[in-house]
Amino acid sequence: MGYDIRTYGDPVLATVAATVDNIDGKIVRLADSMLQAMYRAPGLGLAAPQIGVQKQVFVYDVEDEPTVLVNPIIVESSGEWIYDEGCLSIPGLYVEMVRPKEVLLRGLDLDGNEVEIEADELLARLFQHELDHLNGVLMFDRMTEDQRKRALAEYRKLQDDAVPLGESRRIGLD
Ligand code: NI
């Protein structure tokens, strides 16, 4: 039981998610379902649109500390970092992408308190990747025309080969 993770081509992944006005029981249950789906995948993070919910919520767990962020924004970013980025919504595809190395993220926790998190490298990348999902942006949208063509061809091939997602699978961001 639970939510299926939406994959590339699903219009919900190309939609800007709505701001959460009221952190009520529904949002708490949504966060719980998202964490379950994330651990099951498994991934390090998950954004609400990935289970078909158009709300500004994402969850992550990179150091055994499940965390939920509501209405997150990146307020500062700096540096550059190269990382072989993956996405649960584009299963099997990993593409080297350059993005800022450090970010400062601001959002709300489930109690409605404002939180600020400084992140570097992997966590900073995860934040940027999840923020993209909340804005309807996928990795393909961040690529040059050439990169996109190659990545799409590789992704289609992965799907044609229908490689089962077994234990050999790498863990991407989400
Ligand atoms: Ni993703």
Give distance in angstroms: CA of 22 to centre of ligand 1.
25
Q: Would 62 be classed as within a structural domain?
A: yes
Give distance in angstroms: CA of 153 to centre of ligand 1.
18
Q: Would 3 be classed as within a structural domain?
A: no
Query: Which residues face 82 on adjacent strands?
Result: 98
Give distance in angstroms: CA of 119 to centre of ligand 1.
18
Q: What is the pLDDT of residue 174?
A: 87
Query: Would you state the structure tokens that stand for residue 81, as one six-digit string?
Result: 């970092």
* Residues taking part in catalysis: 130
Nearest 5°: CA angle at 145, between 140 and 126? 30
115 three-state secondary structure: strand
Q: What is the pLDDT of residue 162?
A: 66
Q: Which helix (H) or strand (E) holds 69?
A: strand 67-78
Give distance in angstroms: CA of 37 to centre of ligand 1.
13
**Per-position pLDDT tens, the chain of length 174:** 568 999 999 999 999 999 999 999 999 999 999 999 999 999 999 999 999 999 999 999 999 999 999 999 999 999 999 999 999 999 999 999 999 999 999 999 999 999 999 999 999 999 999 999 999 999 999 999 999 999 999 999 988 886 555 545 577 788
Q: Is the pTM of this model over 0.75?
A: yes
Q: What is the pLDDT of residue 41?
A: 94
**CATH number of domain containing 97:** 3.90.45.10
Give distance in angstroms: CA of 155 to centre of ligand 1.
14
Domain that holds residue 133: 11-171
Q: Would 115 be classed as within a structural domain?
A: yes
Residues with Cβ–ion distance below 5 A, ligand 1: 87, 174
Residue 47, C-beta contacts closer than 8 angstroms, at least 6 positions apart? 17, 57, 58, 130, 133, 134, 174
Q: Would 76 be classed as within a structural domain?
A: yes
Q: Would 156 be classed as within a structural domain?
A: yes
Q: Would 97 be classed as within a structural domain?
A: yes
Q: Would 5 be classed as within a structural domain?
A: no
Q: What is the pLDDT of residue 167?
A: 47
Four-point Cα dihedral 3, 35, 32, 137, nearest 10: -70
Number of domains in the chain: 1
Q: Would 32 be classed as within a structural domain?
A: yes
Q: Cα separations (Å) of 168 from 17, 23, 43, 148?
A: 33, 38, 14, 25
